[in-house]
Amino acid sequence: MAKTAFITGVTGQDGAYLSELLFTKGYRVFGGYRRTSSPNFWRLDELNVRNDIELVEVDILDTGNLIRAFEKTKPDEVYNLAAQSFVAVSFEKPVLTGEITAIGVTRVLEAIRIVNPKIKFYQASSSEMFGKVREIPQRESTPFYPRSPYATAKLYGHWLTINYRESYSIFGCSGILFNHESPLRGIEFVTRKVSDAVARIKLGRQDYLEIGNMDAKRDWGYAKEFVEGMWLMLQRPEPNDYVLATNENHSVREFIEHAFTYTGISVQWKGTGVNETGVDSKSGKTLVKINPKFFRPGEVDQLLGDYTLAKKELGWEPRVMFKELVEIMVQRDLERIQRSS
C-alpha cells in the first residue's frame, strides 16, 4: 500500500523538493501550511506539485491543530521542516523563534505520541548548532556551540528528538543538514540574494549588491539532493542522526565572484573592512558594497561537514558541488528576470 507522508513547512524550499521526491516514490503527501491572508505557494507551482499535494492548514504553534491534522491524515511519516529559519531574524525575534523552532518540535512530537507513536519522525536539525566550531570538519559526534537564538532553538529540537526516541521508542531521526540552496531558496538568504542581484546587475535592472560579512564560509550543497537524505533516514531499520554536507566550504566572497564570472563579469576587490568594494574590472563600476546592517551580533565564521556516516549507512552523497550550484542559481534568476520583463 502507498505510504502517507505529512510535511510541516511544505511551502518552504525543502518542503517543495521533498514533496516532489515523495511523489516519485508513490507517496500520498499531505502538506502543512500556515494560514496567511495571501498563501505562498510559488515554490509548489514552480515544481508543478501544488495540485497533487493535499494541503492542510497547520500551525506548529498549536498542539490541538497538529493532533487533529495527524488524526485525520494518518501519516506513516512526518517531516518537520517548519521553522523560523532565518538566523538574522532570530536575533530580532528570539522569543518567536524559540516558540516555533524549538517548542514547535515538542508540539509535533507530542501530537505523534498522542495520535500514533509508530509514526516515523524527521527533524530538520542544522549545522548552525556547531556554531563556534569545536572541530573541523564537523560530524555527528562534534560538540555543539550555538551562536544565535535560531541555533539554540534548533539544538533544543535536536535533543528533544533524541529524548523522545529514547523515552518513548519513537522512530525519530535528526538530519544535521549543512546549508543547502537552490533556485527555490528564500531571497533573504545570502546565496539567493547574490544570484538574484547578479542576474539583475547583468540585465541592467540593479546597480550594485549590498552585502554583510563576505569572509564567512559555508558548506553549500544542493537542496534537491539533501531531501533525498531526509527520506533515506526514515527508511533505515533503526533511527539515527546524520550529517548531510558536501565536505567543501567557500566564502561568501567566492560565491559573489563566481556568480559574476558566470555572467561574464570579472570583479576586482578594492579597499578594506567596511570600505571594501567590488568593482567591474573592465568598466571600474562599483558592483558590490558592504552594508554593516547585514552584520550579525554573533557570527558563525565557518562550517564544514563530514558526511561519512550518511554515505556508509544511507548510501547518500552529494553530486552538485559549489560552482555548479552557483551556476544553477544564477541561470535560473537570469531566466526569471528576463521572463518578468
Residues at the site binding ligand G4F, with contacts judged by CB under 6 A: 85, 87-88, 126-128, 178-179, 188-190, 193, 211-213, 216, 218, 252, 294, 296, 299-300, 303
Strands 28-33 and 4-8: parallel
Among 3, 47, 52, 61, binds ligand NAP (CB under 6 A): 61
Contact call for residue 195 and ligand NAP (CB under 6 A): no
Cβ pair 31, 54 in contact under 8 A = yes
Contact call for residue 318 and ligand NAP (CB under 6 A): no
Binding at 100: pick from ligand NAP, ligand G4F, none (beta carbon under 5-8 Å per type): ligand NAP
Contact call for residue 247 and ligand NAP (CB under 6 A): no
Binding at 60: pick from ligand NAP, ligand G4F, none (beta carbon under 5-8 Å per type): ligand NAP
Among 4, 138, 174, 179, binds ligand NAP (CB under 6 A): 179
Query: Could you tell me the smallest distance in angstroms from the CB atom of residue 265 to ligand G4F?
Result: 19
To 5 degrees, how large is the angle CA 97–CA 100–CA 103?
105
Per CB under 6 A, the segment of 57-65, 69-77, 275-283, 285-293 that binds ligand NAP is 57-65
Cβ pair 73, 54 in contact under 8 A = yes
DSSP H stretches of helix in the chain: 13-24, 42-46, 63-73, 87-92, 94-97, 104-115, 149-168, 190-202, 223-234, 252-262, 308-314, 322-339
Of 57 and 207, the one with the shorter C-beta distance to ligand NAP is 57
C-alpha cell at 150: 535560531
Decide: residue 233, CB within 10 A, 0-12 exposed, 13-18 middle, 19+ buried: buried
Query: Could you tell me the smallest distance in angstroms from the CB atom of residue 329 to ligand NAP?
Result: 13
Q: Which of 318, 295, 296 is nearest to 305 (CA)?
A: 318
As beta bridge partners, residue 251 has: 217
Q: Note the residues at the interface with ligand NAP (CB under 6 A).
A: 8-9, 11-15, 34, 36, 40, 59-61, 81-85, 100, 124, 126, 177, 179-180, 186
